[in-house]
Amino acid sequence: MAHFRRLPSGRWQAIVKHPSGRQVTKSDPLKRVVADWAREQEAQLSRGSWVDPAAGRITVAEWHRRWMTARVVAASTAARNESHWRNHVEPRWGSWPLAAVKRLEVGGWVNAMGAAGVGAPTVHACVNLLSTLLQAAADEDPPLIPRNPCRGVTLPTLTVRAPEWFTHDEHAAVLRQLAEPFRTLVDLGATVGPRWGEMTALHGSDVDWMRGQASIWRVLPRKGGTPCPCGTLPAHRVKEHPKSGRSRRTTPLPPDLLGAMSALMVGRPREALIFAGPEGGPLDESNFRRRVWAPALARAKVPYRRPHVMRHTAATWLVQAGVDLYRVQALLGHEDYRTTERYSHHAPDAHEAVLGAWAWRQGAPGVHGNDGGPSAPR
């Protein structure tokens, strides 16, 4: 309920008390003006849309500091966000009051990053970070800003490249250049398709050696994680949850790969990592890429591709062999079916209906090859 009083100066003042105990006031020579303002404030409080005018004066940098202390994300995600914040978001917005950030200014920032040569994926990541930050401010109770100004901002188009993959000859050439355990690891990656972190987190106890299948339920992270409960030395850290809900899965293993993996476990505890470094510890992806992967591809005379090509290769080979996309999705642990659809053009019958629609051309007069040559233009 609003309260009104006349000040010694003769001006009228309205006082509206927020449920939190905070009071906001407005004064004007006319009582009608402050009464209208008070009714609007009460209506906003009733709708839950009231915004504290002082809250919007908090700077983006200060809100980011408070927001980060309450945020729970994986260590790798936090590291990426910190890089984008430090290099792009903070220099542009850190000193701005929250309420001063408007949609047009955000759009101008997007264009400026593009003009400066910042790649589209980085632009998307930076805007998403700022948007998440401001959405949290809008979701506060009471809200610090009325709405998220990043909504509706046009972002540069992301170019989706077709997945690269190895031919069988390229894969064989690369394997010939690798020693164990990397030969078996790469063969597993290109045949069954687990992610790097899933392969390197596989313990002997995760494999049903009699049935020939592996349980994928933990990941070896680049950063963070918790001490692995396997109890083997050297100690290592894992995340006991894969990338997404569908990533937790059981995958079959070809008999020859199962045998090669079994050979790596000879003389070692059942709980040990299958693919381990010289001291028995986990493999490091950056070292693998630099010291093992790139030299092997160079010696095999195979064009360089990132190690993730192993996963693309597995999906491509399966689809080429006629395995339906739903089974491929389950094997690779794709959360979204659309991710698996990227490989659909490799299916043996991918263009069967289109080719069937062109069957009328066989023997039809005027068609190339049916009258000794192409038809002359009219």
Predicted confidence at residue 183, as pLDDT, reads 96
Strands (E) located in 228-366: 237-238, 249-252
CA contacts within 13 A on the Cβ side of 337:
4
Strands (E) located in 300-352: none
Predicted confidence at residue 20, as pLDDT, reads 59
φ, ψ dihedrals at 55, nearest 5°: -65, -35
**The tokens of 95 are what?**
């000193």
**What's the CATH architecture for 168-338?**
Orthogonal Bundle (1.10)
Predicted confidence at residue 378, as pLDDT, reads 46
Predicted confidence at residue 277, as pLDDT, reads 85
Would you write out the chain's pLDDT as a tens digit for each of its 378 residues? 677 888 888 888 887 776 656 677 888 888 888 788 778 777 766 665 555 555 557 899 999 999 988 887 777 788 889 999 999 999 999 999 988 899 999 999 999 999 999 999 999 999 999 999 999 988 887 788 888 999 989 999 888 777 899 999 999 999 999 999 999 999 999 999 999 999 999 999 999 999 999 999 988 887 777 888 887 878 888 887 666 667 789 999 999 999 999 999 999 999 999 999 887 888 999 999 999 999 999 999 999 999 999 999 999 999 999 888 889 888 888 888 788 888 877 888 778 888 888 888 887 776 776 665 554 444
**164 contacts 309 by C-beta, under 8 angstroms:** yes
How far, in whole angstroms, is CA 104 from its chain's centroid?
27
CA gap 297, 305 in Å, rounded: 8
Domain boundaries, the chain: 3-50, 57-139, 168-338
**What's the CATH architecture for 57-139?**
Orthogonal Bundle (1.10)
Q: What angle do CA 30, 33, 38 make, to 5 degrees?
A: 130
Predicted structure pTM score: 0.70
CA gap 127, 121 in Å, rounded: 10
Predicted confidence at residue 242, as pLDDT, reads 64
Contacts of 348 (CB under 8 A, 6+ apart): 320, 322
**224 contacts 76 by C-beta, under 8 angstroms:** yes
**The tokens of 260 are what?**
């090669």
